[in-house]
Structure 1
């Protein structure tokens, strides 16, 4: 409505009937077009950052090489984009810790070494039937403040073939699976 009144004051009152019905209707139509143009400009300006991009978040995901998944919440999709943007590169433990902190996680990373006889505990699931040499390429990420999302099997609610207990924080786990060195195995523990 602010554009309608501004437009009506721009025309000279000598040449136009500024209080006329058709003149004011035309000013309203043109003013509505300017309102839409203004809102479009604000939307484009908001796309500069993933947090405010809303409907254009799919473009951020495309640029970052992330498959759009509309089943995820908007916040988790934004976090995934931010992680990918912050992932300049690196393989050190401090690098991964900083990256996890940038999306709100506090983690500890433990690298194992078969040369130092520093191996995972025998009860850890991933090491069963693993050759000793491969254990040196394994690391554990302990998530200190994640949502372990424990889901237990319940009669009448669960289906045959589902695990009795399933847990994990998909955001941090997908983040590590995407960025970890390809020859390593990474597993997660939650506190």
Structure 2
């Protein structure tokens, strides 16, 4: 049922004549606008799912301050979606396990290890008590030759079929690591 008919049904029966020229014009105009809003409602609700309705990604990037320091010229659509996924799921305190999950959200499987100070029962006599500034460093190890492949639904026309390099991973790790630490990124042979 068109909204103009629904609005006419809401009028008091004796006070207004829905068929009157001025009332009918007003009901028609307002009814058409409500019909249009109802038709567009599915797209508005789609804004709650940015990975399905990707026309909303610019709005999400604005709200989350993306792409942030990891921006680069010619950033792939897939990389933009990865950064948005990371921003949407970001939770809780910073730990090495959290940073590893954070990298996984962006599509990188990494191992993270720390440089440990002297510990009774684990270190040998004669070992240094601290490792100096290495106490504040950690190592992120990723697969060598990591690449991003063009994927239907996640990439757009004009992007390269495959790109190499992990500048996005290094940026994500350095952007989200604790401020007092140093992240070292290394790559192992595949």
Q: TM-score, normalised by structure 2?
A: 0.56
| 1:74 paired to 2:77 | yes
Specify the alignment match of 1:137 in structure 2: 136
Query: 1:186 is matched with which residue: 176, 183, 186?
Result: 183
> C-alpha deviations, 1:102-127, integer Å up to 9, x for none?
33321100111344699xxxxxxxxx
Q: 1:109 to 1:85 in 2, by over 3 A?
A: same
SS at match of 1:91: coil
SS at match of 2:138: strand
Q: Is the 8 A contact 1:107 1:141 kept in 2?
A: yes
Aligned equivalents of 1:76 and 1:183: distance in 2?
27
Deviation at 1:96, TM superposition (A): 2.0
Q: Is the 8 A contact 1:138 1:185 kept in 2?
A: yes
Aligned equivalents of 2:115 and 2:166: distance in 1?
23
Q: 1:168 to 1:140 in 2, by over 3 A?
A: farther
Q: What is the correspondence of 1:74-113 to structure 2 with a 5 Å cutoff?
A: 74-113=77-116
Aligned equivalents of 2:97 and 2:79: distance in 1?
23
Q: 1:46 to 1:97 in 2, by over 3 A?
A: same
Aligned equivalents of 1:111 and 1:79: distance in 2?
26
Q: Is the 8 A contact 1:83 1:175 kept in 2?
A: no
Specify the alignment match of 1:129 in structure 2: none
Deviation at 1:186, TM superposition (A): 0.6
Q: Is the 8 A contact 1:110 1:141 kept in 2?
A: yes
SS at match of 2:51: helix
Deviation at 1:37, TM superposition (A): 6.5
> C-alpha deviations, 1:34-85, integer Å up to 9, x for none?
67963x3333222212212423212111221224757312221111011122
Specify the alignment match of 2:48 in structure 1: 48
Moved over 6 A (4+): none
Aligned equivalents of 2:45 and 2:177: distance in 1?
34
Q: Is the 8 A contact 1:80 1:171 kept in 2?
A: no
Specify the alignment match of 1:174 in structure 2: 171
What is the alpha-carbon root mean square deviation over aligned residues?
Answer: 3.6
Aligned length: 136
